[in-house]
A and B are shown apart, each in its own frame.
Chain A
Amino acid sequence: MNFIPPDFAPASSEIFMLIMVCVVMLADLTAGENRRYVAYLLTQVTLLGCALLTFLSFSTETSQTFSGMYVDDTMADMLKLMVYGTVSAVLIYSHAYISDRGMLKGEFFSLILFATLGMMVMISASHFLTLYIGLELLSLSLYALVALRRDSVMATEAAMKFFVLGALASGFLLYGMSMVYGATGTLQVSQLAQVIQSEASNKEVLVIGLVFIVAGISFKLSAAPFHMWAPDVYQGAPTAVTLFIGSAPKLAAFGFVMRLLVEGLGEMAADWQGMLVILAVMSMAIGNIAAIAQTNIKRMLAYSTISHMGFLLLGFISADANGYSAALFYVIAYVLMTLGTFAMIMLLCRSGFEAENISDFKGLSKRNTWYAFIALLLMLSLAGIPPMIGFYAKLAVLQAVVNAGYVWLAVAAVLFSLIGAFYYLRIIKLMYFDEPETDEPILPNSDVKILLSANGLAILALGIFPQALMGLSLYAIQNSM
């Protein structure tokens, strides 16, 4: 009956975030129509404050609080810092885009911050309940963000599909979780591993629960064959929202998979490895082949995401620390590339003009040499060509797969990424060898200019010197397992 009040200190960044979301909402309400920048600046301050709190509380020890529902370890801190950085970059990139399209409202910022809070909860959840609530917090905010442009039929349809399929996926996940609970009698991630290890639980029930959990996870990761929502949502959502959906949530999804499959159901690795092999191969095949046929760049990038998620799953298949750190490195590289690519698309948008087709990249080198160069770096990296970070990420994942003894899987992955190289190189061809269709100048704000240049150069620099980031990933994974 005795209850010890929980230690709030490890969760200080979440608490700060929640307070600041409310502050942002109220501040925007009082600031009025002409001072929307107040919400924008406050959002950036919030992210900075959270980053400071997480950084200051950084420790190599794992601490649990709230009756074991919340865990704070090195991996959580690292992923959270990445999430703050990514969200902040998303806001800088999309500021001009959303203000041109009348979306610069307080709700945009508060929903993004709510989604960020959901990601933080997912990353440091150690209980099925918090894992699920964090995921729903993220998903609900994303559904609303996709639908935020109500007058666009495409956006509404995309939001509807996203919502219905997302709800179905949540149902799958919950059903699987309830099965696992039925078999083990616990919802706590750390206790789960012990119960399974002691073989007091029922294996058959666990496996069927695992099937549903993996299906739910691959829905959220948009891995084939549960990928059908991704192209429609990527295309239908406003590009700023697509950028957000495509970047930061992938970091949280990595954390989610680590907590659920690796920490909780790690003893069942032999069972989920087989499932992930199928998912990974299908994702790489469908993603890369379907992307060739696309003329809409957002749709093409959605299929590219599907294939990249296949690669990410490859990292988990080896089921050891090296594989997980390769997957973490891959997801960081992927987020960097996505940020840059969608920022390029928004750069080509003007007020009243939506750059959506691949042909909008025609003759970019003649319009602006520097941005064409950055786009070149991004495309080469997405295709996995050295010396970009994308190459090294793929290499690390493939090494882990080969070490685990799946040589055929590595060969298949290389073949599919060769097919995939075609549509990335096509964009480079359009930029450098075709005549521009318009000579509209590209004039971004100076903050976008600096950030995009840094983003492009980081892809090159981290590809040449990947050791630091790779070491950091390995350190985070080893400290947290």
Chain B
Amino acid sequence: MNFQDIIFYIFAAILVASALGVITARNPVYSALLLVLAFVTCAGLWLLLEAEFLAITLVLVYVGAVMVLFLFVVMMLDINLDQLREGFWRWFPFGAIIALVMVAEIAMVLMGKHFGLEEMPTPEPQAADYSNTKELGRLIYTEYVYAFELAAVLLLVAMVAAIALTLRHREDKKSPNPSRQVKVRKEDRIRVVAMPSEKKE
């Protein structure tokens, strides 16, 4: 067992443990934080696969942006877990049986011979001057440009939908109107009043 294998097993163990923690933790904030841990260890595994760009993106985008937003939302919502878990134990035996059957079936296929090192050998490591980022960029803008543009359209849809669902025009809302503020002239605000000068008594 070389050094890389040891790193892999450590990361894999942390990943599985934290993923389990995400779904079993009683406090939703702990769940969110454990998910962050899962993402970070996952990024570590990707680094072992020489996918540096993806690993860094995972940390930057998911950990840095998505999960922080997620934490905000979780902290702002008042989630009553007991209410959510109502009826959990009643359906637990049924759900557990189904889940066990599925896990066993998937394990039968995924464990063992089909995905072993003989079937899927380790890819040759790339030379030191090989840039993962450059290769990804080249592929995205050439071979995969159609899918890439469509993914951009998907983001546009998400934006349109979010605005359509949340933007409300309220009549009684008090907010400044910047264009009116900019366009204001001296005459609108200041009134010069001619007054007779007062004489000292």
Contacts and interface: CB of A to CB of B under 8 A. Distances in A.
Answer whether A and B are interacting partners. yes
Interface of A: 3, 6, 11, 18, 25, 66-67, 69-70, 105, 107, 110-111, 114, 117, 121, 127, 129-130, 133-134, 136-137, 140-141, 143-144, 147-148, 150, 182-183, 202, 204-205, 208
Interface string B119-155: 1000000000000000000000011111100110110
B160 A3 contact: no
A208 B105 contact: yes
B109 A114 contact: no
A66 B109 contact: no
B117 interface: no
B157 interface: yes
A133 B147 contact: yes
A111 B164 contact: yes
Given A25-B160, A202-B119, A204-B109, A133 B165 contact: no
A6 B146 contact: yes
Contacts of A137: 150, 153-154, 157
Please provide the 3 A-B residue pairs with the shortest distance between their CB atoms, ordered closest to farther.
A144-B161, A107-B164, A66-B146
Contact of A136 (B114, B154, B161, B165): B154
A133 B150 contact: yes
Interface string B54-96: 0000000000000000000000000000000000000000000
B109 A140 contact: no
Contacts of A205: 109-110, 114-115
A148 B158 CA distance: 13
Given A3-B142, A148-B165, A208-B109, 15 more contacts: A11-B146, A67-B144, A69-B146, A70-B146, A114-B153, A114-B157, A114-B160, A137-B154, A141-B157, A143-B161, A147-B165, A202-B119, A204-B109, A205-B114, A208-B105
B169 to A, nearest CB: 10
Contacts of B106: 208
A147 B164 CA distance: 10
Contact of B150 (A67, A130, A150): A130
Given A111-B157, A137-B157, A69 B114 contact: no
Contacts of B164: 105, 107, 111, 144, 148
12 contacts: A11-B146, A114-B153, A117-B153, A121-B150, A136-B154, A137-B157, A140-B154, A140-B158, A141-B157, A144-B157, A148-B164, A202-B114
A23 to B, nearest CB: 13
Contacts of A3: 142-143
Contacts, number: 78
B147 A127 contact: yes
Contacts of A183: 114
A183 to B, nearest CB: 8
A133 B154 contact: yes
Contact of A204 (B114, B151, B156): B114
A110 B119 contact: no
A107 B160 contact: yes
Contacts of A127: 147
A142 to B, nearest CB: 10
Contact of A134 (B114, B119, B150): B150
Interface of B: 105-106, 109-110, 114-115, 119, 142-147, 150-151, 153-154, 156-158, 160-161, 163-165
Contacts of A147: 165
A101 B154 CA distance: 28
Nearest to A15: B149
Contacts of A111: 157, 160-161, 164
Contacts of B105: 208
Contacts of A182: 115
A202 B112 CA distance: 13
A137 B151 CA distance: 9
Contacts of A130: 146-147, 150
Contacts of B151: 133
B175 to A, nearest CB: 19
A69 B106 CA distance: 30
Nearest to A1: B138
Contact of A69 (B147, B154, B158): B147
B130 to A, nearest CB: 14
B142 A141 contact: no
A24 to B, nearest CB: 11
B165 A66 contact: no
Contacts of B142: 3, 67
Contacts of A144: 157, 160-161, 164-165
Given A3-B142, A205-B114, A140 B147 contact: no
A314 B44 CA distance: 47
A150 B165 contact: yes
A110 B160 contact: yes
Nearest to A147: B165
Contacts of A6: 145-146
Nearest to B147: A129
Nearest to A4: B142
A144 B161 CA distance: 6
A141 B147 contact: no
Contacts of A117: 153
B105 to A, nearest CB: 7
Nearest to A110: B160
Contacts of B115: 182, 205
A453 B133 CA distance: 59
B103 to A, nearest CB: 12
B161 A18 contact: no
